[in-house]
Chain A
């Protein structure tokens, strides 16, 4: 039990589908993140949100669209993905976006995405 819950845990989608990944954190944190994990790039930061505002977008293709309706929920909307987008997508949260002492990152269990 990490305090960060992701659904679905597994998702198979076609290249023309539209789907969404959902993340909810129960830790009272102000910052939320999406990471992509694959064999090529073990932990690649995609998006950072601080108090529902996007503060970082690491040159992610527009076929990935994040949404943060409040500080506890984060979505990743997926459309017209490519097979190379198949990976583990990890949601995470931390107290805030600072990198100072004590601000650790709590990861969810991840959503395994397969694009066919």
Chain B
């Protein structure tokens, strides 16, 4: 069925290295959202992308929405220990609910 796939499942990086997580859908998405969940915490909304090819930045985080609106990525430049957590993408699968990807768990070694 219609769903959103996210890779990788886990990523371990050294502090200062870059990190990227990818989200892919088999169908065109009207928009896509990204959330971050710190260890022991709850998911917190980061950003929403709506337009084809859209790129948004939040400090060291860069979010992209593919031209076909079927994929998205989150890139973190020069990771810090504060970036540790699980990053989820979420795409609408019908008119009334979002489907969350399986998440990418990021661990940053100091």
Please report A residues at the B interface, Cβ cutoff 8 Å.
2, 42-43, 45, 48, 50, 55-56, 90, 97-102, 104-110
Instruction: Knowing A42-B102, A43-B103, A106-B45, say if A48 contacts B96 (CB, 8 Å).
Output: yes
Of listed A50, A55, A107, A108, residue having the most chain B CB within 10 A: A107
Nearest 4 pairs of A and B residues by beta carbon: A99-B92, A43-B100, A97-B96, A107-B42
Judged by a CB distance under 8 angstroms, whether B41 is at the interface is: yes
Interface of A is mostly: loop
- Pair A90/B42 contact, Cβ less than 8 Å: yes
Asked if residues A42 and B42 are in contact (CB atoms below 8 Å), the reply is: no
Residues of chain B contacted by A98 (CB below 8 angstroms) = 95-96
Q: How many chain B residues touch A (Cβ–Cβ < 8 Å)?
A: 25
**Chain B residues close to A by CB (< 8 Å):** 30-31, 33, 35, 41-45, 48, 50, 86, 88, 90, 92-100, 102-103
Q: Are A107 and B44 in contact (CB under 8 A)?
A: yes
User: What is the total of A-B residue contacts with beta carbons within 8 Å?
Assistant: 61
A56 to B98, CA, bound (A): 12
Given known A-B contacts A100-B31, A101-B31, A90 and B97 have beta carbons under 8 A apart: no
Which of these, A43, A45, A90, A99, contacts B31 with CB under 8 Å? A99
**A100-B31, A104-B48 known; A43 vs B43 contact (CB < 8 Å):** yes
CA–CA, A90 to B90, complex, Å?
Answer: 16
Q: How far is the CA of A108 from the CA of B37 in the complex (A)?
A: 12
> How far, in whole Å, are A97 and B93 apart by their CA atoms in the complex?
12
Determine the chain B residues whose CB is within 8 A of the CB of A45 once the complex forms: 97, 99-100
- Within 8 Å by CB of A42, from B45, B92, B100, lies B100
Closest CB in chain A relative to B21 CB, distance in Å: 13
Q: CB < 8 Å: which of A56, A104, A109, A110 contacts B45?
A: A104
A45 and B50 CA atoms in complex are apart in Å by 23
Contact residue among A42, A50, A56, A106 (Cβ-Cβ distance under 8 Å from B103): A42
